[in-house]
Structure 1
Amino acid sequence: MTFTALVFLALAMSTDAFAAAIAKGAALRSPTFPQALRIGLLFGCIETITPVLGWALGSLAADAIRQWDHWIAFVLLLGLGGRMIWLSFGSDEEEEEEGGKQNLLVLVLTAVATSIDAAAVGVGLAFVDVSIVHAALAIGVATTTMVTIGVLLGRRLGAVVGRNAERIGGVVLVLVGTTILIEHLSA
């Protein structure tokens, strides 16, 4: 996987967390940078761990299905990207939080929910030539950055940008999967 593909993958993995951060930021009256950064770090840490867990599971089966690895990565990324695009056209479920205060449990559950796709991507990455450490760190840094920005922008931008971010992220995942498939078929 090229550096550019890795950067796009990291950004794509952070878009659903970015969308969630916009919603969280919109719930806060006036989020401060330290608040936004703490939320960003929480999401980023969880998003760093989940692809490694997925990769570990995928690595166990890598030798058995190496001849199909590029197709597996393509199908997983196509499915995840398609799912993100599909969900971006759905209606938002409003979350009510008392007094606009961020509940740690709600934040952790949201972070885990938005990182499940990163675990599935980690499974796909077990079948391609990529350092999982670099990929996980790139995804974690991108998520930390995007969530911090999302919280700060949430009050002003609302759900419109969040939905567009999810659509773009879905398209990027489909493109990364297609690139992996083309690279392996042309090799």
Structure 2
Amino acid sequence: MGIWELLLIAVGLSMDAAAVSMSNGMCFHRAGVKEAGRIAGAFGIFQGIMPLIGYYACSFFEREITSLDHWVALILLGFIGGKMIWESHAGHEVSHECVTLSGKLLFMQAIATSIDALAVGVSFVALPYEGGILAAASVICAITFAVSFGAVFLGRRFGGILRNKAELVGGLILVGIGVKIFIEHMLTG
């Protein structure tokens, strides 16, 4: 996997965190740079750690997975992306009741939005990034941080208009990458 595929995966993965960051921005409309940094930092760190966990947990089974790598990527990325697309149209309503953004709530949000990154880490065993897993995790972390940081301020500014669209775009990107990997493998043998 090259840098462009990794960047697209990172952007796709960051969309869940972006959607939650926008929601946080809508609820905590007085959030400034410090609060946006705290939110983005939590999401970025967890999005960077989870692929490492998935990768190293699955590395023990690398030989068995290599023969099925294109199927693994198609199924995992297709499922994750499909879930994001479905969730973007599932009729989520933005709550107008906001709670305090405690450390515990932010931790739970960061875990929930990074589960997909765990599955992507598994797919990196089958189709590794040419720069290595640590570099891939760092890129995912940095992109998620940047996207989440900006999303807090977008949430403050534009409210509920953008929330579901971020999940839709992220899902389409992940499904597209899964299909691309599958087609490339089938065409090249």
Question: Could you state the TM-score of these two structures normalised by the residue count of structure 2?
Answer: 0.92
In 1, the alpha carbon distance for the partners of 2:128 and 2:114 equals: 22
Out of 19-28 and 147-156, give the one that drifted further.
Answer: 147-156
Distance 1:96 1:181 in 2: 43
Give the 5 Å matches for 1:11-90.
Answer: 11-90=11-90
Work out whether 1:181 is the aligned partner of 2:182.
yes
Q: Is the 8 A contact 2:23 2:94 kept in 1?
A: no
Mapped pair 1:145 → 2:146 = yes
Q: How many residues are matched?
A: 185
Q: What are the equivalent positions in structure 2 for 1:125-140 lying under 5 Å apart?
A: 125-130=124-129, 131-140=132-141
CA contact (8 A) 2:52 2:118 kept: yes
| Alignment partners' CA distance in 2, 1:132 and 1:139 | 10
| Structure 2, unaligned runs of 5 or more | none
What are the superposed Cα offsets for residues 74-123 of structure 1, whole Å, 9 maximum, x if unpaired?
1110011000000111223637444xx32110011001000000001111
> How far did residue 13 of structure 1 move?
0.4
- The aligned residue for residue 120 of structure 2 is 121
> Aligned letter for 1:176?
I
The alignment partner of 1:62 has SS state of helix
1:57, 1:171 → 2: CA distance?
27
Structure 2 equivalent of residue 164 of structure 1: 165
| Aligned equivalents of 2:157, 2:145: Cα separation in 1 | 20
Structure 1, unmatched stretches of 5+, are none
State the superposition RMSD in angstroms: 1.4
Distance 2:176 2:63 in 1: 26
4+ long deviations beyond 3 Å: 95-98
Moved more, 42-51 or 64-73: 64-73
